[in-house]
Amino acid sequence: MRTEQEEIRLMKGNEAIAEAAIRCGCDGYFGYPITPQSEIMETLMDLRPWESTGMVVLQAESETASINMVYGAAGCGKKAMTSSSSPGMSLMQEGLSYIACAELPCVVVNVMRGGPGLGTIQPSQADYYQSVKGGGHGDYKLITLAPASVQEMADFTMLAFELAFKYRNPALILADGIIGQMMEKVVLPPYQARMTEEEIRRKYPWATLGKLRGQKQNIITSLCLLPEEMEAVNLHLQAKYRQVEQNEVRYETLHCDDAEYLIVAFGSTARVCQKAVETAREQGIKVGLLRPITLYPYPSEAIARIAGRGRGVLTVEMSAGQMLDDVRLAVNGAVPVEFFGRLGGIVPAPDEVFEALKTKLIKENV
């Protein structure tokens, strides 16, 4: 079954995450079923990686337990991950705040569905605020990647682990129900070996693997009662976030070189918008598309630069307008920024986006 080569398969986004997790040497997955992402744990249970790579897969009693199992595993320097969908992510916010403060690397996948509340199982992007503005208590950030294809579900699983360990910070893959459920061709990466304990001790000397003779004890904690010390912890985190912002911004552009109008959209919405851009171009309207790949750190400079050359920006989301705030902050009043969104699990159609572009943006500029 195991190969040293890439493999091409047709699979669901959720399945791609499970495959990629095993292939990138993940040590432990801890999860709780919730639609539309249950295939991640189902696929893992089916593939039985504990018999091949030794990866642990465990169904927890709740998302609260899952994220805390991830805490425990990550504290041992292990590659640990969990996945959920919107309501379950709300339960994980406590754990994420602790993990961010304790500076533990881990990967969390959110395959978003419509909310608030129990909402719907249909796709949504309304957890943007929760993902990039904190979510839990305190000042912290999650490195947030937004895949727009099944291929990116696999690629970003690897990338998320890489970034999580590089910065000792939780990394979030923020997908939506479409990306999780749809099937596409995907090139799966070759298998990487899991880290040995010796490797973990060498590379991550903070890991709690047992205090060896002559070494000092390792303590994973987020507690710091003295305010001066807690401020120092916070300043350290903030300095780390500035590094992340400097090094890790990722985005993709389409037809932006001569764009008079710019659409900003992420995830599956960006693919809908791609069609709208093509329609507009066929009619002679110079529209470009910027797709943020990292939602934190956000590609503010690129948006400001491209938008500044044009006449207006349309932000399209499956929400009431959350990323819109960041686009407006980036553009900073240089040109009008308008919004089009569908809510509660409705996916916008390309012609709706094109219509919104014409009515909200282009007409105003005529």
Q: How far is the CB of 9 from other proteins (least distance, A)?
A: 28
DSSP conformational letter for 191: P
Q: How far is the CB of 181 from other proteins (least distance, A)?
A: 28
The DSSP result for 255-324, as a single string, is S-TT-SEEEE--HHHHHHHHHHHHHHHHTT--EEEEEESEEES--HHHHHHHHHTSSEEEEEESSSSSHH
Query: In this complex, which beta carbon is closest to other proteins, that of residue 72 or of residue 119?
Result: 72
Query: In this complex, which beta carbon is closest to other proteins, that of residue 80 or of residue 109?
Result: 80
Query: In this complex, which beta carbon is closest to other proteins, that of residue 68 or of residue 181?
Result: 68
Q: How far is the CB of 108 from other proteins (least distance, A)?
A: 14
111 has which bridge partners? Answer: 175
Q: How far is the CB of 218 from other proteins (least distance, A)?
A: 5
Residues that bind other proteins (CB under 8 A): 27-28, 30, 56, 58, 60-62, 64-66, 68-73, 75-76, 78, 80, 94-95, 98, 102, 208-213, 217-223
Q: How far is the CB of 143 from other proteins (least distance, A)?
A: 21
Query: In this complex, which beta carbon is closest to other proteins, that of residue 54 or of residue 116?
Result: 54
Q: How far is the CB of 211 from other proteins (least distance, A)?
A: 5
Determine how many CB atoms are found less than 10 A away from the CB of residue 309: 15
Angle, alpha carbons 222-170-146 (nearest 5°): 150
Structure tokens at 264: 């900003």
Distance CA 181, CA 122 (A): 10
Q: Are strands 251-254 and 287-292 parallel, antiparallel or unpaired?
A: antiparallel
Query: In this complex, which beta carbon is closest to other proteins, that of residue 30 or of residue 156?
Result: 30
Contacts of 175 (CB under 8 A, 6+ apart): 13, 109, 110, 111, 112, 146, 147, 153, 267
Query: In this complex, which beta carbon is closest to other proteins, that of residue 139 or of residue 258?
Result: 139
Query: In this complex, which beta carbon is closest to other proteins, that of residue 73 or of residue 276?
Result: 73
**Residue 25: which of 6, 59, 53 has the closest Cα?**
53
Q: How far is the CB of 203 from other proteins (least distance, A)?
A: 16
Which helix (H) or strand (E) element contains residue 186?
strand 183-188
Distance CA 133, CA 135 (A): 6
